[in-house]
Amino acid sequence: MWIDFDKLPHTARIWIYQSSRPLTDAEATAIEQDIQPAVANWAAHGVPLLASAQLIHHRFLIIGVDEGHHPPSGCSIDASVRWVREIGMALNTDFFDRSVAYVAPDGLVHTLPLAHVKAAVADGQLTPETTIFNNLTATKAELETHWQIKAGDSWLKRYFQKQTV
């Protein structure tokens, strides 16, 4: 059963899928049209799930479910992964991208392959104050408080510590 994302409880479980590239307005509209019916009909062992999805920054597809209503099962989670994979294939983007997503000085979200992090720190592209996205966030409450964090407060801090030693 579809619910507006903002009406999901703070305890709702979420999954964040990061596109390998920014999406166009038309692609964002297509995603919203594809994902809403899938989520509205999402079920675990025949029991409808109370769930939602939203696209943020034309880059992050976030799916949430109210586990207090009914928890998702392994099969239902697999189904949601399949939707995201199919949407990505249709739009020629990878929603399973594991690059570091950060907010650049231009205010836009950019990504950086993990292999380039050390060089980006060395040349000042990434600083301890750079906002990055923690896509391992697991609940709606964490999304609101710990999704966008300073690089110096994340797993990237080890790169900055080496820089100052």
15 shares its domain with 86: yes
- Residues 139 and 80 grouped into a single domain: no
Which residues of the chain carry a pLDDT beneath 70? 162-165
Instruction: Tell me: do 112 and 153 sit in the same domain.
Output: yes
**3-state DSSP call for residue 85?**
helix
Specify whether 75 is located in the same domain as 113.
no
The reply to whether 126 and 78 lie within a common domain is no
Provide the pLDDT for residue 3: 96
One-letter-per-residue 3-state SS of the chain: CECCHHHCCCCCEEEEEECCCCCCHHHHHHHHHHHHHHHHCCEECCEECCEEEEEECCCEEEEEECCCCCCCCHHHHHHHHHHHHHHHHHHCCCCECCCEEEECCCCCEEEECHHHHHHHHHCCCCCCCCEEECCCCCEHHHHHHHCEEEHHHCCCHHHHHHHHC
Residues 87 and 17 in one domain: yes
Shared domain for 17 and 85, answered yes or no, is: yes
The range of the structural domain enclosing residue 115 comes to 100-164
What pLDDT does residue 165 have?
Answer: 45
Residues 86 and 114 in one domain: no
pLDDT the model gives residue 126: 95
Co-location of 82 and 109 in the same domain: no
Q: What share of the chain is helix, strand, coil (3-state, %, to 5)?
A: 40, 25, 40
> For the domain that residue 141 is a member of, what is the CATH number?
3.30.1490
C-alpha to C-alpha distance for 165 and 141, rounded to whole angstroms: 36
Q: What is the share, in percent, of the chain residues with pLDDT greater than 70?
A: 98
- How far is the CA of 107 from the CAs of 45, 85, 100, 141, in angstroms? 43, 28, 16, 24
Choosing from 91, 119, 141, the residue where a domain stops is 91
Structural domain count, the chain: 2
Together in a domain, 105 and 39:
no
Quick one: pLDDT at residue 162?
61
